[in-house]
Amino acid sequence: MEVTTTQHWAFEDFREGVSIELAPYRVSEAEIVAFARQYDPQSFHVDPEAARHSIFGGLVASGWMTTAVFMRMQYDSFIGHSTCLGSPGVDEIRWLLPVRPGDTLRGACRVTEARPSRSKPDRGAVFYHCHLENQAGEVVMTLQSRALFGRREAQP
C-alpha cells in the first residue's frame, strides 16, 4: 500500500506495509560545496578540479549531506505534519552510490513494524526501511530507523 498525502499522521496510521513516498529534492553544486566546507571538507566534496582526479571522477555530496537531505524529504512528506516525538536512533545507513550535482532524489519509507508503547500508552514506535534513488532510478542510499509517534487519543 503506497501513500502520498498531506494527511496529519499519528501512530495509528503507520501499519506494517504502508509505504510513504518522499517529496523529490534536486541537489545543487553550491549546496554540496557549502555543506562540505562546513562539515566534511574532503577535496572530492569541495573542489571540483580535485574531484575530477578522484575515484569519483567529479564532485560528489557527502554521505552525511545525503542523509540530511533525506531528513528534509521526510519532514516535507510526513514528519512535518505528524505527531512525531523524535527518534531514538538510526539502525543502519548505507550510501550505495555517490550523489552528484543536479541529481534529483526520490524515495520512500516502508513501515516494517508499528509497536504501541507498553509503558506510555499515549505513543508508539514505528520501524521503517527507507531508500533514496536518483533520477536514473539507481538506489543511492538505504536507511533503517525508528521514530516515536503520539496517538490521536491516548489509551487509558
Adjacent-strand bridge partners of 147? 126
Picking from 116, 108, 113, the residue whose alpha carbon sits closest to that of residue 78 is 108
Answer yes or no: is 113 within a domain: yes
State whether residue 57 is helix, strand or coil.
coil
Q: What is the pTM of this model?
A: 0.91
Query: In which region does residue 95 sit, left (phi positive, over 0), alpha (psi from -120 to 50) or beta (all else)?
Result: beta
Q: Residue 145: which residues within 8 A CB-CB, separation 6 or more?
A: 87, 89, 90, 91, 127, 128, 130
Please indicate, yes or no, if residue 75 is contained in any of the structural domains.
Answer: yes
Domain assignment of residue 92, given as a range:
2-28+61-150
pLDDT of the chain, 156 residues: tens digit per residue? 444 455 799 999 999 999 999 999 999 999 999 999 999 999 999 999 999 999 999 999 999 999 999 999 999 999 999 999 999 999 999 999 999 999 999 999 999 999 999 999 999 999 999 999 999 999 999 999 999 999 997 544
Is the residue at 50 inside a domain? no
Listed residue (99, 110, 112, 104) closest to 141, CA to CA: 99
- The CATH number of whichever domain residue 15 belongs to comes to 3.10.129.10
Degrees to nearest 5, angle at CA 26 with 87 and 34: 75
User: Is residue 61 within 8 Å of 27, Cβ to Cβ?
Assistant: yes
Residue 47 belongs to some domain of the structure:
no
Residue 34 CB neighbour total at 10 angstroms: 13
Domains in the chain, number: 1
> Could you tell me if residue 85 is inside a domain?
yes
